[in-house]
Amino acid sequence: MRIPFLLTLLFLLTASNYDKSDSESISDESNYLSDAKKELIKEWPNNRTINLVFHGHSVPAGYFKTPNVNTFDSYPFQVLKRLKEKYPFAVINIIITSIGGETSVGGQKRFETEVLNHQPDILFIDYALNDRKVGLEDSRKAWEKMITRAKQKGIKIILLTPSPDLKVNLSENGNELEQHSNQITALAKKYNIGLADSYSRFKKIKADCECLDDYMSQSNHPNALGHSIIAEEIIKWF
């Protein structure tokens, strides 16, 4: 009787370790959106509308130099343009549920009624820039609530690290944006979902040329060029 017990225990420990290592990694870019990509290549009359929902603050909402909203230069619509070049037969619906000035705490409160009601195929969450107002702990709780609820619905999720704020020195290790970026990366690994890491791209630009101003319309809002950096990180998943 002791041998079967030991074998069972060994199996459970092995399975537990496998699950942990398997879940604690960012999803694979090459296959995470494979189901969506199969739908995107279908032609009429076999295709259907693919809903991409962008949930967050002023940046995905399209604010450039406040109060101007440059919708068609914002990264959600740059993503749409690039996707249409790649998938000419696809019907793609871009849905913006972002609100300028909002944090993830506020976004989580309206998640059920104003985000999930759109039945997203793919959900993008971008709140880190504003989440400095609520801190790491409260923002982590809000992100996790949205992530777990969306996963329950079978929705694919891509988290976004923050775009720059010129008042923050991206060259300084452990700055407040980097702390939120690290937390978001950890969440993507924990839940084995997607990550569009624009923060690392902007940090490299800062290190290479000290020219972040060229990518910004104001201190905390990217211009069209800055939005293109974010769009490029998203398009990698398609």
Q: What is the pLDDT of residues 11-54, one digit of tens each?
A: 444 444 433 434 589 999 999 999 999 999 999 999 999 999 99
CB 177 within 8 A of CB 165: yes
CB 129 within 8 A of CB 220: yes
Tell me how far apart the alpha carbons of residues 180 and 170 are, in angstroms, rounded to a whole number: 12
Q: What is the pLDDT of residue 23?
A: 56
CB 51 within 8 A of CB 124: no
CB 162 within 8 A of CB 177: yes
Structural domain boundaries in the chain: 25-235
Q: What is the model's pTM?
A: 0.89
CATH topology of domain 25-235: Rossmann fold (3.40.50)
Q: What is the pLDDT of residue 12?
A: 42
Cis peptide before 4 (omega within 30 of 0): no
Select the more confidently predicted residue: 7 or 86. 86
Cβ contacts of 18 within 8 Å, gap of 6 or more: none
State phi, psi for 120 to the nearest 5 degrees.
Answer: -65, 140
Q: Report percent pLDDT > 70 for the chain.
A: 90
Q: What is the pLDDT of residue 10?
A: 40
What is the per-residue pLDDT across 161-207, written as a single tens digit (0 to 9) for each? 999 999 999 999 999 999 999 999 999 999 999 999 999 999 999 99
First vs last Cα of the chain: how many Å apart?
A: 52
What is the per-residue pLDDT across 106-156, written as a single tens digit (0 to 9) for each? 999 999 999 999 999 999 999 999 999 999 999 999 999 999 999 999 999
Q: Is 145 exposed, middle or buried (0-12, 13-18, 19+ CB in 10 A)?
A: middle
Tell me how far apart the alpha carbons of residues 155 and 72 are, in angstroms, rounded to a whole number: 25
